[in-house]
């Protein structure tokens, strides 16, 4: 299925909001955005209308659209939902069993994380590789659940700033080490086909990430780079 110009513009604007390129409170005006993106006003207008339904932007009569502000509690609330859904995904995946090829891919993710953390410190150059590993690990488990609604609802929680798997607060080695050790425990439970333990481990893993982000939210708001957050 071919993507429409409106879908492309929506994806770009959504990305700018989620990674902080356009900060909370900034007005989004059709004409400047159309010029910046090299498109007409029509796809921009459609994109802003959709983003308003997603509650990423607010519409005010006679003033137009502005990027919505999310506080620490808003983000933590999304993590609570994400913890429950990804816990369910883990339980379903453990009950179904892990195919050999997927098990190998998950072990590869763990090996990548082990290598990145082996030096006992956080190298800024390794942030993006760790983010990619983390995202691959979680996405594989969500796919293993076999439930398309799980993936859909997890993606909805990601449509809130700072909740995506790509968001990592890369400043506390102990916390990142704990998070990656969680990955090892989660995989062990999956391979053991222990649904209850797999669910509990994933719930705690994501929930702790939300707590850590909430307690360090000032770092994110001050940087607005999209490269701050919690390991989840």
Answer whether residue 225 shows pLDDT above 60.
no
CB within 8 Å of 61: residues ≥ 6 apart: none
Helix (H) or strand (E) holding 64: strand 64-67
User: Between 186 and 164, whose confidence is greater?
Assistant: 186
Kindly state the average pLDDT of the residues 116-143: 95
Give tens-digit pLDDT for 100-113: 999 999 999 999 99
Q: Name the residue ranges covered by the structural domains of the chain.
A: 5-67, 72-223
- How many other C-beta atoms are found inside a 10 Å radius of the C-beta of residue 162? 28
Answer whether residue 226 shows pLDDT above 60.
no
Q: What is the mean pLDDT of the chain?
A: 89
Per-residue pLDDT band at 231 (split at 50, 70, 90): low
Cβ atoms of residues 183 and 209 within 8 Å: no
Cβ atoms of residues 205 and 85 within 8 Å: no
**What's residue 66's pLDDT?**
94
> What is the pTM for the complete model shown?
0.79
Give tens-digit pLDDT for 17-35: 887 788 888 999 999 999 9
- How many other C-beta atoms are found inside a 10 Å radius of the C-beta of residue 153? 19
- How many other C-beta atoms are found inside a 10 Å radius of the C-beta of residue 137? 22
Q: What is the DSSP string of 114-140?
A: HHHHTTSS--GGGHHHHHHHHHHHHHH
Per-residue pLDDT band at 227 (split at 50, 70, 90): very low
Residue with tokens 């893993």: 205
List Cα–Cα distances, 232 to 23, 53, 88, 100, 229, in angstroms: 23, 26, 15, 24, 9
How far is the first Cα of the chain from the last one, in angstroms, to the nearest whole number?
32
Which architecture characterizes domain 5-67 according to CATH?
Answer: Orthogonal Bundle (1.10)
Q: What gap in Å lies between CA 215 and CA 47, rounded to an integer?
A: 33
What ranges in the chain are assigned the alpha helix state H? 5-18, 30-37, 41-53, 72-96, 100-117, 127-144, 148-158, 173-191, 195-215, 217-223
Cβ atoms of residues 169 and 212 within 8 Å: yes
Q: What is the CATH number of domain 72-223?
A: 1.20.120.530
Residue with tokens 């955005």: 33
Which token pair is 47?
């994109």
**What's residue 228's pLDDT?**
38
């Amino acid at each position: 299925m071919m993507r429409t110009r409106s879908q492309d513009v929506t994806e770009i604007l959504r990305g700018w909001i989620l990674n902080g390129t356009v900060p909370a409170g900034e007005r989004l005006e059709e004409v400047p955005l159309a010029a910046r993106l090299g498109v007409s006003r029509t796809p921009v207008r459609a994109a802003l209308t959709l983003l308003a339904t997603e509650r990423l932007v607010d519409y005010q009569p006679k003033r137009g659209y502005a990027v919505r502000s999310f506080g620490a509690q808003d983000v933590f609330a999304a993590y609570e939902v994400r913890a429950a859904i990804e816990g369910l995904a883990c339980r379903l995946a453990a009950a179904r069993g892990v195919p050999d090829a997927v098990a190998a891919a998950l072990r590869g993710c763990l090996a990548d994380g082990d290598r990145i953390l082996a030096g006992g410190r956080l190298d800024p150059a390794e942030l993006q590789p760790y983010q990619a590993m983390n995202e691959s690990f979680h996405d594989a488990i969500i796919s293993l659940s076999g439930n398309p609604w799980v993936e859909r609802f997890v993606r909805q929680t990601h449509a809130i700033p700072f909740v995506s798997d790509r968001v990592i607060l890369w400043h506390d080695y102990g916390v990142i080490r704990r998070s990656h050790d969680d990955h090892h425990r989660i995989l062990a439970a999956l391979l053991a086909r222990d649904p209850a333990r797999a669910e509990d481990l994933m719930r705690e893993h994501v929930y702790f990430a939300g707590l850590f982000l909430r307690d360090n939210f000032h770092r994110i708001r001050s940087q607005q780079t999209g490269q701050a957050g919690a390991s989840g």
